[in-house]
Amino acid sequence: MQFTIARTLPELRSALDPLWPEGIAFIPTMGALHAGHMSLVEASRQYAPHAVASVFVNPAQFGPNEDFARYPRALESDAAMLEAAGVRVLYAPEVEDIYPPGFATMVGVQGALVDELEGAHRPGHFAGVATVVAKLLMRVMPRAAVFGEKDWQQLCVIRRMALDLDLPAHIASVPTLREADGLAMSSRNRYLSEAERAIAPLLYQMLKEIAAWLASPAPRNEDILSGAAQHLLASGFTQVDYIALRDAETLGSPQPSRPMRLLAAAWLGHTRLIDNVAVSG
Ligand code: AMP
Protein backbone atom coordinates (compact mmCIF):
# COMPACT_ATOMS: atom_id res chain seq x y z
CA MET A 1 0.00 0.00 0.00
CA GLN A 2 1.30 3.42 -0.90
CA PHE A 3 2.57 5.71 1.89
CA THR A 4 2.80 9.45 1.25
CA ILE A 5 4.39 12.22 3.29
CA ALA A 6 2.63 15.54 2.64
CA ARG A 7 4.44 18.72 3.71
CA THR A 8 1.94 21.31 2.45
CA LEU A 9 -1.82 21.74 2.16
CA PRO A 10 -1.86 21.16 -1.64
CA GLU A 11 0.21 17.98 -1.18
CA LEU A 12 -2.16 16.86 1.58
CA ARG A 13 -5.22 17.48 -0.60
CA SER A 14 -3.87 15.45 -3.51
CA ALA A 15 -2.81 12.61 -1.19
CA LEU A 16 -6.24 12.53 0.50
CA ASP A 17 -8.30 12.91 -2.65
CA PRO A 18 -8.49 9.17 -3.45
CA LEU A 19 -9.07 8.27 0.23
CA TRP A 20 -12.02 10.51 1.06
CA PRO A 21 -14.72 8.42 -0.67
CA GLU A 22 -13.91 5.35 1.48
CA GLY A 23 -13.25 7.40 4.57
CA ILE A 24 -10.37 8.52 6.76
CA ALA A 25 -9.62 8.08 10.45
CA PHE A 26 -7.20 10.75 11.63
CA ILE A 27 -4.52 10.62 14.34
CA PRO A 28 -3.03 14.03 15.18
CA THR A 29 0.30 13.98 17.07
CA MET A 30 3.36 16.06 17.87
CA GLY A 31 5.65 13.22 16.79
CA ALA A 32 8.51 11.45 18.58
CA LEU A 33 6.10 8.56 18.33
CA HIS A 34 5.89 5.72 20.84
CA ALA A 35 3.64 2.70 21.35
CA GLY A 36 0.92 4.93 22.87
CA HIS A 37 0.58 6.83 19.61
CA MET A 38 0.58 3.56 17.68
CA SER A 39 -2.33 2.29 19.79
CA LEU A 40 -4.29 5.28 18.43
CA VAL A 41 -3.41 4.17 14.89
CA GLU A 42 -4.59 0.64 15.74
CA ALA A 43 -7.85 1.93 17.21
CA SER A 44 -8.46 4.15 14.17
CA ARG A 45 -9.12 1.02 12.08
CA GLN A 46 -12.57 0.59 13.57
CA TYR A 47 -13.70 4.01 12.34
CA ALA A 48 -12.54 4.13 8.70
CA PRO A 49 -10.46 2.08 6.26
CA HIS A 50 -7.70 4.68 5.74
CA ALA A 51 -5.51 5.96 8.57
CA VAL A 52 -3.98 9.42 8.21
CA ALA A 53 -1.64 10.82 10.86
CA SER A 54 -0.10 14.23 11.41
CA VAL A 55 3.13 15.22 13.10
CA PHE A 56 3.19 18.90 13.98
CA VAL A 57 4.86 20.47 17.00
CA ASN A 58 2.36 23.29 17.38
CA PRO A 59 4.03 26.48 18.62
CA ALA A 60 0.64 27.99 19.54
CA GLN A 61 0.14 25.52 22.41
CA PHE A 62 3.51 26.14 24.09
CA GLY A 63 4.03 29.00 26.56
CA PRO A 64 7.07 31.29 26.18
CA ASN A 65 9.00 29.42 28.89
CA GLU A 66 7.97 25.92 27.79
CA ASP A 67 9.84 23.27 25.83
CA PHE A 68 8.86 24.09 22.21
CA ALA A 69 12.48 24.45 21.04
CA ARG A 70 13.73 21.29 22.71
CA TYR A 71 10.59 19.15 22.15
CA PRO A 72 11.88 15.89 20.57
CA ARG A 73 11.64 15.74 16.79
CA ALA A 74 12.14 12.41 14.99
CA LEU A 75 10.34 12.69 11.66
CA GLU A 76 12.28 9.95 9.88
CA SER A 77 11.60 7.25 12.47
CA ASP A 78 8.03 8.55 12.92
CA ALA A 79 7.42 8.10 9.20
CA ALA A 80 8.91 4.58 9.27
CA MET A 81 6.67 3.57 12.21
CA LEU A 82 3.55 4.96 10.57
CA GLU A 83 4.32 3.34 7.21
CA ALA A 84 4.94 -0.03 8.92
CA ALA A 85 1.56 0.32 10.69
CA GLY A 86 -0.22 0.80 7.37
CA VAL A 87 -0.94 4.52 7.69
CA ARG A 88 -1.62 5.93 4.20
CA VAL A 89 -0.63 9.56 4.65
CA LEU A 90 1.60 11.41 7.10
CA TYR A 91 0.92 15.13 7.13
CA ALA A 92 4.02 16.86 8.51
CA PRO A 93 3.62 20.57 7.76
CA GLU A 94 6.01 23.41 8.52
CA VAL A 95 4.76 26.10 10.90
CA GLU A 96 4.16 28.49 7.96
CA ASP A 97 1.85 25.98 6.28
CA ILE A 98 -0.45 25.98 9.32
CA TYR A 99 0.06 29.62 10.34
CA PRO A 100 0.84 31.59 7.16
CA PRO A 101 1.71 35.29 7.40
CA GLY A 102 -1.37 37.27 8.43
CA PHE A 103 -2.92 34.38 10.37
CA ALA A 104 -5.23 36.03 12.93
CA THR A 105 -7.92 33.60 14.15
CA MET A 106 -7.87 31.51 17.30
CA VAL A 107 -10.55 29.04 18.45
CA GLY A 108 -11.40 29.87 22.05
CA VAL A 109 -13.21 27.34 24.21
CA GLN A 110 -14.41 29.24 27.29
CA GLY A 111 -14.79 28.57 30.98
CA ALA A 112 -13.48 26.24 33.64
CA LEU A 113 -12.84 23.51 31.08
CA VAL A 114 -9.87 25.51 29.76
CA ASP A 115 -9.09 27.84 32.67
CA GLU A 116 -8.43 25.22 35.35
CA LEU A 117 -5.97 22.33 35.85
CA GLU A 118 -3.67 22.38 32.77
CA GLY A 119 -5.16 25.72 31.72
CA ALA A 120 -4.24 27.35 35.04
CA HIS A 121 -0.64 26.24 34.70
CA ARG A 122 -0.33 26.67 30.94
CA PRO A 123 -2.21 29.89 30.03
CA GLY A 124 -3.26 29.91 26.38
CA HIS A 125 -2.42 26.22 25.93
CA PHE A 126 -5.93 25.08 25.04
CA ALA A 127 -6.53 27.98 22.63
CA GLY A 128 -3.47 26.70 20.77
CA VAL A 129 -4.71 23.10 20.93
CA ALA A 130 -8.28 23.94 19.87
CA THR A 131 -7.08 26.11 16.99
CA VAL A 132 -4.69 23.56 15.52
CA VAL A 133 -7.09 20.64 15.98
CA ALA A 134 -9.91 22.62 14.33
CA LYS A 135 -7.62 23.49 11.40
CA LEU A 136 -6.38 19.91 11.04
CA LEU A 137 -9.92 18.53 11.11
CA MET A 138 -10.96 21.02 8.39
CA ARG A 139 -7.95 20.06 6.28
CA VAL A 140 -8.16 16.29 6.69
CA MET A 141 -11.97 16.00 6.88
CA PRO A 142 -11.87 12.60 8.60
CA ARG A 143 -14.86 10.49 9.65
CA ALA A 144 -13.23 10.15 13.05
CA ALA A 145 -10.25 11.63 14.89
CA VAL A 146 -8.57 9.58 17.60
CA PHE A 147 -7.13 11.05 20.82
CA GLY A 148 -5.53 9.54 23.92
CA GLU A 149 -7.02 9.54 27.40
CA LYS A 150 -3.48 10.38 28.53
CA ASP A 151 -4.39 14.03 27.87
CA TRP A 152 -7.84 13.83 29.47
CA GLN A 153 -8.50 17.56 29.68
CA GLN A 154 -7.44 18.00 26.05
CA LEU A 155 -9.90 15.26 25.08
CA CYS A 156 -12.71 17.06 26.99
CA VAL A 157 -11.85 20.39 25.35
CA ILE A 158 -11.80 18.86 21.86
CA ARG A 159 -15.10 17.04 22.45
CA ARG A 160 -16.66 20.33 23.60
CA MET A 161 -15.27 22.23 20.61
CA ALA A 162 -16.40 19.60 18.10
CA LEU A 163 -19.90 19.66 19.58
CA ASP A 164 -20.12 23.46 19.79
CA LEU A 165 -18.78 24.08 16.26
CA ASP A 166 -20.71 21.17 14.67
CA LEU A 167 -17.46 19.64 13.43
CA PRO A 168 -18.57 16.51 11.60
CA ALA A 169 -15.79 14.14 12.78
CA HIS A 170 -16.50 11.62 15.52
CA ILE A 171 -14.07 12.23 18.41
CA ALA A 172 -12.80 8.84 19.54
CA SER A 173 -10.56 8.08 22.51
CA VAL A 174 -8.12 5.38 23.52
CA PRO A 175 -6.99 4.38 27.05
CA THR A 176 -3.51 5.41 28.19
CA LEU A 177 -0.77 2.99 27.23
CA ARG A 178 1.75 2.50 30.03
CA GLU A 179 5.24 1.15 30.58
CA ALA A 180 5.46 -2.12 32.54
CA ASP A 181 5.89 -0.15 35.79
CA GLY A 182 2.80 1.96 35.15
CA LEU A 183 4.39 5.18 33.87
CA ALA A 184 2.20 6.65 31.13
CA MET A 185 4.10 6.59 27.82
CA SER A 186 4.99 10.10 26.71
CA SER A 187 7.37 11.71 24.24
CA ARG A 188 8.61 13.80 27.18
CA ASN A 189 9.71 10.72 29.17
CA ARG A 190 12.96 10.81 27.21
CA TYR A 191 13.86 13.98 29.12
CA LEU A 192 14.02 12.00 32.39
CA SER A 193 17.37 11.12 33.95
CA GLU A 194 17.82 7.56 35.16
CA ALA A 195 17.14 8.61 38.75
CA GLU A 196 14.00 10.57 37.73
CA ARG A 197 12.78 7.67 35.58
CA ALA A 198 12.97 5.41 38.65
CA ILE A 199 10.70 7.76 40.65
CA ALA A 200 8.30 8.64 37.82
CA PRO A 201 5.90 5.62 38.16
CA LEU A 202 4.94 6.85 41.63
CA LEU A 203 2.58 9.40 40.06
CA TYR A 204 0.36 6.69 38.59
CA GLN A 205 0.68 4.52 41.71
CA MET A 206 -0.59 7.42 43.83
CA LEU A 207 -3.49 8.07 41.48
CA LYS A 208 -4.49 4.42 41.53
CA GLU A 209 -4.31 4.25 45.32
CA ILE A 210 -6.39 7.38 45.72
CA ALA A 211 -8.94 6.14 43.16
CA ALA A 212 -9.26 2.82 45.01
CA TRP A 213 -9.68 4.64 48.30
CA LEU A 214 -12.30 7.02 46.84
CA ALA A 215 -14.22 4.05 45.43
CA SER A 216 -14.31 2.37 48.85
CA PRO A 217 -17.10 3.12 51.35
CA ALA A 218 -14.70 5.13 53.59
CA PRO A 219 -15.85 8.73 54.04
CA ARG A 220 -14.44 11.04 51.36
CA ASN A 221 -11.82 13.44 52.59
CA GLU A 222 -10.02 16.05 50.44
CA ASP A 223 -6.98 15.74 52.74
CA ILE A 224 -6.05 12.59 50.87
CA LEU A 225 -5.20 14.73 47.81
CA SER A 226 -2.85 17.06 49.69
CA GLY A 227 -1.40 14.03 51.51
CA ALA A 228 -0.62 12.46 48.14
CA ALA A 229 1.07 15.66 46.95
CA GLN A 230 3.21 15.69 50.09
CA HIS A 231 4.15 12.07 49.49
CA LEU A 232 5.22 12.80 45.89
CA LEU A 233 7.36 15.72 47.08
CA ALA A 234 8.93 13.62 49.85
CA SER A 235 9.74 10.94 47.24
CA GLY A 236 11.69 13.19 44.89
CA PHE A 237 9.09 15.02 42.77
CA THR A 238 10.15 18.65 42.71
CA GLN A 239 6.73 20.31 42.32
CA VAL A 240 3.09 19.19 42.23
CA ASP A 241 0.95 21.49 40.06
CA TYR A 242 -2.30 19.75 41.01
CA ILE A 243 -3.95 16.52 42.06
CA ALA A 244 -7.68 17.06 41.56
CA LEU A 245 -10.88 15.06 41.57
CA ARG A 246 -13.31 16.35 38.92
CA ASP A 247 -16.43 15.53 36.96
CA ALA A 248 -15.08 13.41 34.10
CA GLU A 249 -16.75 15.43 31.33
CA THR A 250 -17.11 19.06 32.47
CA LEU A 251 -14.06 18.91 34.76
CA GLY A 252 -16.12 20.91 37.27
CA SER A 253 -16.70 19.71 40.84
CA PRO A 254 -17.69 16.05 41.13
CA GLN A 255 -21.47 15.54 40.98
CA PRO A 256 -23.44 12.71 42.56
CA SER A 257 -23.87 9.66 40.30
CA ARG A 258 -21.75 11.07 37.48
CA PRO A 259 -18.38 9.65 36.33
CA MET A 260 -15.35 11.24 37.96
CA ARG A 261 -11.72 11.58 36.96
CA LEU A 262 -8.65 12.05 39.10
CA LEU A 263 -6.08 14.21 37.32
CA ALA A 264 -2.53 15.20 38.25
CA ALA A 265 0.49 17.12 37.00
CA ALA A 266 3.86 17.05 38.72
CA TRP A 267 7.46 17.92 37.96
CA LEU A 268 10.59 15.81 38.16
CA GLY A 269 13.35 18.37 37.71
CA HIS A 270 12.74 20.02 34.32
CA THR A 271 10.20 17.43 33.17
CA ARG A 272 6.48 17.87 33.71
CA LEU A 273 4.44 14.66 33.87
CA ILE A 274 0.65 14.47 33.60
CA ASP A 275 -1.61 11.51 34.21
CA ASN A 276 -5.20 10.65 35.12
CA VAL A 277 -7.39 7.74 36.13
CA ALA A 278 -11.11 6.99 36.28
CA VAL A 279 -12.80 7.01 39.69
CA SER A 280 -15.95 5.02 40.26
CA GLY A 281 -18.24 6.88 42.65
P1 AMP B 1 1.21 14.09 21.54
O2 AMP B 1 2.09 13.68 20.41
O3 AMP B 1 1.84 13.94 22.89
O4 AMP B 1 0.55 15.43 21.31
O5 AMP B 1 0.02 13.03 21.56
C6 AMP B 1 -0.73 12.76 20.40
C7 AMP B 1 -1.91 11.92 20.78
O8 AMP B 1 -1.45 10.70 21.37
C9 AMP B 1 -2.80 12.59 21.84
O10 AMP B 1 -4.16 12.31 21.54
C11 AMP B 1 -2.36 11.92 23.11
O12 AMP B 1 -3.35 11.91 24.12
C13 AMP B 1 -2.06 10.52 22.62
N14 AMP B 1 -1.15 9.84 23.54
C15 AMP B 1 0.03 10.29 24.02
N16 AMP B 1 0.56 9.40 24.88
C17 AMP B 1 -0.31 8.36 24.96
C18 AMP B 1 -0.35 7.14 25.70
N19 AMP B 1 0.62 6.81 26.54
N20 AMP B 1 -1.40 6.32 25.52
C21 AMP B 1 -2.42 6.66 24.67
N22 AMP B 1 -2.43 7.80 23.96
C23 AMP B 1 -1.41 8.64 24.10
Q: Is 37 a catalytic residue?
A: yes
Residue of the CA atom closest to atom 11 of ligand 1? 148
Q: What's the pLDDT at 216?
A: 85
The whole-angstrom separation of Cα 257 and Cα 261 is 13
pLDDT surpassing 90 at residue 221: no
Mind listing the pLDDT tens digit for each residue in 137-181? 999 999 999 999 999 999 999 999 999 999 999 999 999 999 999
**CA of 33, closest atom in ligand 1:** 2
The whole-angstrom separation of Cα 272 and Cα 66 is 10
Mind listing the pLDDT tens digit for each residue in 201-218? 999 999 999 999 998 877
| Half-sphere exposure in the Cβ direction for 221 (13 Å, CA) | 10
Helix runs in the chain, H state only = 9-16, 35-44, 75-84, 95-98, 112-115, 118-121, 125-140, 152-164, 194-199, 202-215, 223-234
Q: What's the pLDDT at 92?
A: 99
Residue of the CA atom closest to atom 6 of ligand 1? 29
pLDDT surpassing 80 at residue 17: yes
The whole-angstrom separation of Cα 281 and Cα 155 is 21
Residue of the CA atom closest to atom 18 of ligand 1? 36
The whole-angstrom separation of Cα 254 and Cα 250 is 9
162: Cβ contacts below 8 Å, ≥ 6 apart = 137, 169, 171
Which of 147, 151, 190, 277 gets mutated to test ligand 1 (max ligand atoms within 8 A of its CB)?
Answer: 151
Mind listing the pLDDT tens digit for each residue in 54-103? 999 999 999 999 999 999 999 999 999 999 999 999 999 999 999 999 99
**CA 9–ligand 1 middle distance (angstroms):** 24
